[in-house]
Amino acid sequence: MQINKPILDKQIDKATEYLDEKKNAKAEKFLSKIVLTEPTNDEAWLLLGIAKRRLGELDKAIDCFKAATEYNSSKEEAWGLLTITYLDKGNIEMAKKAIAIAGRLNPNNTKIQFLRHTLVQSYIKHGPFF
């Protein structure tokens, strides 16, 4: 059963509020319910990935960020967080692969192209961003 757009927007706003307040477990629970009813909602997947990442569930966060990019291949934040999460797990090759795919899928997106050229190298040189 899909949620109508105004209700879904309010739920996404509420989840964002939970994340802003660092109520990550609450956000994770809330967003898990949203993706069950709205499995193609890229924003819900992105936010769920952020919650899972903050909770230390990096593999599950990767799955969420992948879902977000599958449903919206131009979702810059999801590509960036997917890449960084791979890096945090020590998987440089997968990080390079993810951001390269983002670049191929978005050849005219200057932000993604910038990330493609700098993100992995900056992380390797300077360490974790968060």
Q: Which domains does the chain have, with CATH numbers?
A: 1-60 (1.25.40), 73-130 (no CATH)
pTM exceeds 0.85 = yes
Identify which of 72, 71, 98 has the alpha carbon closest to the alpha carbon of residue 84. Answer: 98
CA-atom Rg of the chain in angstroms: 15
Confidence at residue 84, expressed as pLDDT on a 0 to 100 scale: 97
Q: Which residue is it, tokens 């974790």?
A: 128
Query: Is the Cα torsion angle 100, 49, 6, 10 positive or negative in sign?
Result: negative
**Residue 16 CB coordination number (10 Å):** 15
Q: What pLDDT score does 97 carry? A: 98
Question: For the segment 24-70, what is each residue's pLDDT rounded down to a tens digit?
Answer: 999 999 999 999 999 999 999 999 999 999 999 999 999 999 999 99
Res. 1: pLDDT tops 60: no
Residue type, 83: T
Spatial distance between the Cα atoms of 108 and 30, rounded to a whole number of angstroms:
35
